[in-house]
Amino acid sequence: MPSWFWLPAILLVGLRLLHFGGELDDPHIWRQADTANYIWDFYQNGVDLLHPSVCWMGAHKTVIFEFPLPEAMATWVARIFWPELFWSRMLFLGIYLAGAAYFFKIIRFLTSSNLAAISTLVYMMLPLGIVYSRAVHIDFSAVLCAHAMLYYFLKAIDRESRGYFLAAMICATLGFLIKVPYLFYLAFPAVAYIQHRRQWRFFLRTSPLLLLPILSFVAWQWHVTRVNGAMPDWTFIPEYRKMDDMKGWYFGRTGDREVLAHWQLLWGRLKYEILAVIGVPLLLLGGMMQWRNFGANFMRIWAAGTLVYLMIFFMLNVHHDYYQIPYLAPLAFFVALPLHGLFTFLAQRNRVVAGLALTVCLGLFALQSIRLTEGKSLNPGEKEYFGNYFKEDELILNAGAIIRDHTPENALVVATFGGLDCRCPNLLYAARRNGWSIAKQHLTPSMMQRLKQEGATHFALLQIDPMSMEMEAYVQQYKMEQHFVKGTHWPVRVYTLR
């Protein structure tokens, strides 16, 4: 790795350390809260990789989103140090950096150390990577598995090594269990490399090892379907459903891909959250360069694979910006390509001038990404995508602390804050309590009676406006404590349901 790489890389890591608060923050506190609750429950009750727990399913608790190995690792780190989110952030940042290191190895293997270094620095500057690399979030764990898998696969084909092939399949297995959409499309550049090296005979001889990730994934999906299918039949809760059939969520409908607004949203995320605006012309220029170079064409096939991923898992990409994380690596390469071309051209004449030019270009890119992620001087277009990065929800955090202080540890709490979905963990996780999230408009005496039958012991209402007349009359029979969230006029009413 070039010596000049380390200083900017360390500065980019240091940038992330500025946002290592002890509480969850945006974007997507919701998804992070589910991940953090997996970790919290593992810490409290022991690691059970087959039965992770959410906080919004009452006493049932068990719902599986992904193979919870990253959360288990965070738990083991917490047992060594302390159960604070700081240590989870450190772990997930380390996982991100390991994925970046494998990205460097792949590009160096295919091209050169200088291009690999520039590509990796660009990768570390992309806004979406800046925020999620230090979040309590599992997606870069899947990216690490993807990059490691591809690197070891390339080495295996190059050296005809069964050992490297096995290493690739172990990484693939873990990645398939955590988040298979982030890995499957890498089969396209992998096949291209087999053809490039004319190693089909070796590949076919070792191909039975492919069964390791495939069969593991099939077995895991069988387990997920069985476990999530055992979720209670709580059809009395509006919008509730078992999570054993997620096809609609993953794939959407055919017509979804014809909605112009979806494509406009994705283009905005590409322009702002990934490329920081100034990366767009660099990407276009890089995409037109080095058509006769196999390394560049390999990355084109990688990028084309992400388009296949997009079209298959289209609505996932629409729902959440973090599903654009797989695009970071190939796009970083093509943004870096013209910068590397400029550096190489100038270095043939004067290496000092070349170094200064590269420093200025990368510095401008980094400053732009920092401005956007820090929410500084945003124009109207930028505000649609930024402005909420690294923001804690003080209302939820302080309300959760009130609920935690005025309910026993084993309480099952019905939590209500506005019209949030029944799967929303935010308030319950902030309170470190299990229970149910029920939107205000869905509260009825009959629902409360059903939830009491399911074990609900407390009702926590974070709401300024009164409930319906029927609900206000219903809760009069229970003991109530009211406390105001610090520094606000928001009351938290905590009812004891007995």
DSSP states of 53-95: B-SSSTTT-B--SS--HHHHHHHHHHHHS-S-HHHHHHHHHHH
CA-CA distance, 418 to 440, in Å (whole number)? 5
SS3 of residue 115 by DSSP: helix
Residue 404 contacts residue 431 (beta carbons within 8 Å): yes
Asked if the model's pLDDT at residue 65 lies above 80, the reply is: yes
CA-CA distance, 274 to 261, in Å (whole number)? 19
Residue type, 253: R
- Chain segment 353-390, per-residue pLDDT in tens: 988 999 999 999 999 999 999 999 999 989 999 988 99
pTM of the model: 0.94
Q: Which residues contact 435 (CB under 8 A, 6 or more apart)?
A: 55, 56, 58, 411, 412, 413, 414, 415, 428, 456, 458
Residue 250, pLDDT score: 80
Question: Which residues partner with 434 through β-bridges?
Answer: 412
For residue 449, the surrounding DSSP H or E stretch is: helix 445-453
H-helix segments, 232-387? 247-251, 260-268, 279-287, 294-312, 314-319, 328-347, 351-373, 380-383
Residue 2, pLDDT score: 81
Mean pLDDT, range 107-133, rounded to an integer? 97
Residue 273 contacts residue 128 (beta carbons within 8 Å): yes
Handedness of CA 385, 386, 388, 390 (dihedral sign): positive
- Chain segment 381-434, per-residue pLDDT in tens: 899 999 889 999 999 999 999 999 999 999 999 999 988 889 999 999 999 999
- Chain segment 144-165, per-residue pLDDT in tens: 999 999 999 999 999 999 999 9
Q: What is the DSSP letter of 404?
A: H
Angle between helices 187-197 and 294-312 (to 10 degrees): 150
CA-CA distance, 296 to 290, in Å (whole number)? 6
Rg for the chain (alpha carbons), in Å? 25
Residue 263 contacts residue 247 (beta carbons within 8 Å): no
Asked if the model's pLDDT at residue 287 lies above 80, the reply is: yes
Asked if the model's pLDDT at residue 4 lies above 90, the reply is: no
Residue 452, pLDDT score: 95
Residue 53, pLDDT score: 96
- Chain segment 316-336, per-residue pLDDT in tens: 999 999 999 999 999 999 999
CA-CA distance, 365 to 81, in Å (whole number)? 36
- Chain segment 467-498, per-residue pLDDT in tens: 999 999 999 999 999 999 999 999 999 999 98
Mean pLDDT, range 220-244, rounded to an integer? 92
Residue 418, pLDDT score: 85
Residue 409, pLDDT score: 93
Residue 252, pLDDT score: 81
Which of 332, 337, 295, 311 lies closest to 125 in space, CA to CA?
Answer: 332
Per-residue pLDDT band for 82 (boundaries 50, 70, 90) equals confident
Per-residue pLDDT band for 247 (boundaries 50, 70, 90) equals confident
Residue 48, pLDDT score: 96
Residue 80, pLDDT score: 92
Residue 177, pLDDT score: 97
